Amino acid sequence: MTSALITGATSGIGAAFAHRLARDGHDVVLVARNTERLRQYATELHDRHGVEASIITADLATDDGIASVEERLRDRKHPIDLLVNNAGFGNKGRYLEVPVEDELRMLKVHCEAVLRLTSAAAESMRERGRGGIVNVASVAAFLPRGTYGASKAWVVQFTQGAARDLGRSGVRLMALCPGFVRTEFHERAGMAAENVPGWMWLDADRVVDTAMADLARGRSLSIPDPRYKALMGVARLAPRGLVARASSTTGRFSPR
Ligand SMILES: NC(=O)c1ccc[n+]([C@@H]2O[C@H](COP(=O)([O-])OP(=O)(O)OC[C@H]3O[C@@H](n4cnc5c(N)ncnc54)[C@H](OP(=O)(O)O)[C@@H]3O)[C@@H](O)[C@H]2O)c1
């Protein structure tokens, strides 16, 4: 039996990872802030799939929260075979509308927590000569899309660099870059989700299926769905100003 640890496992993409992994027979460790929700989901996964499902209540915007998950990842007696760094959020508002403390909180969750948890897991996996780490970024990483996109660009660069450095170790690292996925993300961030065209929305379970297939293929970058692969190809070739205008008006955070 192998074990997977998923951050932000109670909703959206993280919940879809937890479901897929439990269904495949992996024990799961679920991480998020809301203990009641974690308990309910762990019980559901255990009852439906017969796997061990444990929980860690942790706020990854705090040092204590990150440290408690690092400690679990360093436990050599109960090793984690797959880490999914998925927890994340968007701040309400554009640059300078968002207080700097909130920007720093986002960097703590999206960058510092991802660096520290990846490092704790990768060290232990390297000793065993196997393991996988999926860091959830976004297609926003490739677009001029505020501080959110900048933090996700860090996730992509960090993950692909680490994947190369650990190339012969047996540890696989992959950055996952979805487009718009129907989850609680947009409501929580006060985003104008209604101006995102219907065809741009992805399903969380499908995103996770593509991610798991790409990880198995040894990819260090996964962009689920051909529509987004094509869009990112066009964005690379189109004039930067045009791309900036289109990406800053589609479903962008708008204070309500
Ligand atoms: N939805 C999209 O369109 C989309 C597109 C591209 C990338 N992404 C990325 O996908 C990831 C998952 O997003 P989602 O769409 O699934 O969002 P979601 O439905 O809002 O779920 C977010 C999850 O993260 C947890 N979380 C949030 N802040 C946390 C913190 N400080 N510490 C620990 N856990 C925290 C939440 O639980 P608690 O509130 O209980 O902590 C929840 O389980 C994020 O990294 C996001 O940037 C999303």
186 alpha carbon – ligand 1 mean position (Å) = 10
The 3-state DSSP class for residue 56 equals strand
> How high is the pLDDT of residue 195?
85
Would you state the structure tokens that stand for residue 226, as one six-digit string?
A: 């051909």
Q: Is 148 a catalytic residue?
A: yes
Q: For 164-172, which contacts have Cβ atoms below 8 Å and span 24 or more sequence positions?
A: 164/220, 166/122, 166/126, 169/125, 169/126, 169/129, 170/125, 170/126, 170/128, 170/129, 170/130, 170/131, 171/122, 171/125, 171/126, 171/130, 171/131, 171/132, 171/133, 172/131, 172/132, 172/133, 172/215, 172/218
pLDDT of residue 57: 99
Mean pLDDT to the nearest integer, 204-217: 98
Span 69-90, pLDDT tens digits: 999 999 999 999 999 999 999 9
Task: Specify the pLDDT at position 134.
Answer: 98
The pLDDT of 187-214, averaged and rounded, is 94
pLDDT more than 90, % of the chain? 86
The predicted-structure confidence for 150-171, as pLDDT tens digits, reads as follows 999 999 999 999 999 999 999 9
What pLDDT does 253 receive?
Answer: 55
User: pLDDT digit string (tens) for 41-62?
Assistant: 999 999 999 999 999 999 999 9
Q: What residue ranges do the domains of the chain occupy?
A: 3-248
- Give, for ligand 1, the residue of 10, 11, 69 to mutate: max count of ligand atoms closer than 8 Å to Cβ: 11
Write out pLDDT tens, residues 214-251.
Answer: 999 999 999 999 999 999 988 887 877 777 777 777 76
Q: What is the pLDDT of residue 176?
A: 98
- Cα 168 to ligand 1 centroid, rounded to whole Å: 31
Pocket mutation for ligand 1, best pick of 33, 84, 101 (most atoms within 8 Å of C-beta): 33
Contact present, 222 and 210 (Cβ < 8 Å): yes
pLDDT of res. 256:
42
Output the pTM of the full model.
0.96
Top CATH class of 3-248 equals alpha beta
Tens-digit pLDDT profile for residues 15-42:
999 999 999 999 999 999 999 999 999 9
Task: Check pLDDT > 60 for residue 255.
Answer: no
**What does the alpha-carbon distance between residue 26 and residue 171 come to, in Å, rounded to a whole number?**
18
- pLDDT at position 254 over 70: no
Residues with CB under 6 A from ligand 1: 7-14, 32-34, 37, 58-61, 86-89, 109, 136, 138, 178, 180-181, 183-185, 188
Mean pLDDT, the chain, whole residue set: 94
Range 103-128 average pLDDT: 98
